[in-house]
Chains A and B, each alone.
Chain A
Amino acid sequence: MDQKVLKGLRILDFTWVLAGPYATRILGDFGAEVIKIQSKKTAKGAESNLTGYFNHWNRNKRSITLDMNYPEAREIFLKLIKISDVVIENFSPRVMSNWGLDYERLKGVRSDLIMVSVSTMGQDGTWKDYVAYGPTLHALSGLTYLTSYNKDSPMGLGYAYADFISGLYAAFATLSALEYREKTGQSQYIDLSEYEAICTLLGPTFLDISQNHKQVLPYGNRSNYLSAAPYGCYKCLGTDRWCVIAVFNGEEWQSLCHILGHPDWTKDEKFSTLSKRQENAEELDGLLTHWTIQHPPEEVVDLLQEAGISAGVVQSAEDLARDPQLLARDFFIQLEHPTIGRTISDRSPIRFADDLTVGWKAGPVLGEDNRYVFIELLGLTEGEFSSLIEKGVIG
């Protein structure tokens, strides 16, 4: 039996950088035919085909080139819409309509089309043309403010988390709309705001503010809401080696004291209840660090986990590449790229009992699938094809 879940599904991928490409990567991983529209003029930076970044986020996709400034390119785009199930784009809101390619027009060409527009602020509202990347969105959402040691020196995340969240939401919405189309035959237009996407991940905090009329402040790794103590990140033996420990109840606290060789602490008034341990967290953290700093994090974590305590090693990229758990689950895979050579990528974390992901293919070379798409799928003649290349329409 053919294992490709999304076999026969054609996605027109008009996305760039990360949020959009991540959405189409997920669909491509499971067998959808993803046709990425590029052009020589725009294949730069994150969209330059021969970079590791591009290769990583655009595996299992096809690439064609179209210079949308030509009316002929827009005509070809409409022909492609006719033979596609889904179009996903993440331009700023006016781009598609400036080309005369808004949803209403596309739906006129393909009556059951699913169109997904991913944009920073959504398609409407006074801020719709604002420019934002992942870090901008983190800052706007409150995530940067809250991911800090204190309110006076905001830190935030060291990578573009918001792009992944938007990409995941876009893939989820696409598949949901397709599920509905199976039953009703209906076309849909989805207008996804990346700003809103990241705001959905701070839900309980927004409820807290609106109901309890209080300020929610950043406290580093201390949780505002979680009932756990000790709880946090502790220094271990070695350069920049750390572990995390989370003790949720009395039983775990007792086990921890035994491992530390201080069963007497369980009798200490200052630490006798969870709320007292939270009150005296600083002192407790000091005592705990005194122990963790003498051991490598792996040793600390193994000991604690054996005793039923939640604990983790703070892993770097290098640690992850050698992580026995990830390796046991074949998390990393190899991609053979015709120019870059053999590279390493990650498997989809969506695991079925039988591997349902496709045979892995590296990111496409610019315009790699021009012949296949323009001649085989759209039926252009050789003559038409070469004249469009000559004119720069396909280019």
Chain B
Amino acid sequence: MKGFLEGIQILDLTDEKASFCSKLLADLGARVIKIEIPGGDPSRRIGPFWGDCPNPEKSLFFYYHNTNKMGITLNLEHEEGKGIFLRLVKKADIVIETFSPGHLKRIDLGFDVLSRENPKLILVSVTGFGQNGPRSQYKSCDIVASAFGGQMYVNGSSSSPPLKAFGEQSYYTASLFAAIGILLALRKRTQSGKGEHIDISLQESVVSTLDHVMIRYFYEKVVPKRQGSLYWNNSFCILPCKDGHILFTPFQQWETLVEWMDNQGMAEDLKDEKYLEEEYRLQHVDHIIEVLKRWTKNHSTDELFEKGQLMRFSWAPVNSPEEVSHNPQLKARGFFIDVEHPELCRSIYYPGAPYKINRASIDRWERAPLIGEDNLQVYQKELGISQEELKRLASLNVI
């Protein structure tokens, strides 16, 4: 099957903050041209690297976020570069960018200029704090978005500093919002015939996805705090096992749990009737966890997980990423896919898409572009720029 988004043309000016957005669209079939500065996008300098050796053509970080995209180089700050960019804009549906607010305007490529060139163009801007407001010019990165967005404050233990979620989660969340925004704008465009400027803030993307945090504040005036691995409503905690840790539910199906422990002679005082009352259990959560710990330490994570799941306990081993990469369920679903890297003479194992469409996995996977890999295709074949002209532009550092 062709991808859902086949035929949609995207110009991708993003750095690491939203390259995942254009990846999402590219993986579903949109034609994405990544436009990098001559020499390559700075996000190519972010690790991990293939062979652990820093090299802009070997960033695994860049690889993952730029699958199924084409790549060209272009200097947008150069007059001639701008001209070429505007020619590309004429044929594009969408431009995605992550410059600080006002930057495109300063180089005469603001939304008004772009829409004059192509009134149907949709521009998506992903920035730390959005296009307006007192902090719009502040610098951001994932840890700043996580802090200002309220995520860090509720992660970690109360006796240690707030803890950022691993990876670049604010970039991913913002990218998902931006991708949804693009599809909304495409739909609106079929009604109005006009493009849109979509404004996505990393901070707002984080605040929007905090689950109970704002609700409890607005409804109960509670300020949620970090409390280690004990979940805010005590429904989950992490306990040690013989061979690792298990994510555990201390209160779910209480009687079944106590019976299970008792069969092994390890229920201690939890058999006592007073624990049948939820209120009492909540008051004695620390003691309960101590008893549970003694029990879980006697078992392996797999044993508890497999048996627990059969009994409908929502437990799981606290997996290391190595364990995840061998997970039987992910394997059975064909989640990890092999992407060919001819330049490295091998294929690399990537996480694929999280959905099957009509019971089949997405099967079109192209590796990220090398620096300027599609310059000839785009400039010569599609824009009709001659080879001599391309040489001249390269010598001026336009491409």
Interface residues of A (CB under 8 A from B): 1, 5-6, 18, 26, 30, 52-53, 56, 121-127, 130-149, 151, 153-161, 163-166, 168-169, 171-173, 175-180, 182-183, 188-197, 199-212, 214-216, 218, 220-221, 224-227, 231-235, 240, 242-244, 246, 248, 305, 308-321, 323-326, 328-329, 331, 343-346, 348-353, 356
Contact = CB atoms under 8 A, between A and B. Distances in A.
Contacts of B260: none
Contact of B5 (A56, A145, A176): A176
B28 interface: yes
Given A144-B318, A201-B167, A310-B144, 13 more contacts: A121-B333, A131-B309, A143-B165, A154-B238, A156-B318, A161-B165, A208-B60, A220-B161, A225-B47, A233-B147, A312-B146, A320-B214, A344-B218
Contacts of A203: 64-65, 350-351
A70 to B, nearest CB: 25
B99 to A, nearest CB: 15
B60 to A, nearest CB: 4
Could you tell me the dominant secondary structure of chain B's interface residues?
mixed
Nearest to A220: B163
Given A212-B48, A221-B163, A312-B147, A160 B211 contact: yes
B173 to A, nearest CB: 7
Interface string B196-235: 1111110111011111111111111011111111011001
A323 B45 CA distance: 34
Interface residues of B, number: 146
B333 A124 contact: yes
Contact of A196 (B192, B319, B333): B333
Interface of B: 4-8, 24, 28, 45-48, 50-52, 60-61, 63-65, 129-130, 132-136, 138-141, 143-157, 160-167, 169, 172-174, 176-181, 183-188, 190-192, 196-201, 203-205, 207-220, 222-229, 231-232, 235-236, 238, 245-247, 309, 312-325, 327-330, 332-333, 335-336, 348-359
Contact of B28 (A176, A311, A344): A176
Contact of A244 (B144, B231, B336, B354): B144
A317 B216 contact: yes
Interface centre among A193, A196, A214 (most CB of B within 10 A): A196
A191 B324 CA distance: 20
A188 B362 CA distance: 14
A346 B215 CA distance: 10
Given A179-B186, A199-B335, A203-B351, A139 B4 contact: no
Contacts of B157: 149, 155
A162 to B, nearest CB: 10
Given A52-B219, A305-B139, A169 B163 contact: no
B166 A202 contact: yes
Contacts of B141: 246, 248, 310
Contacts of B183: 172, 175-176, 178-179
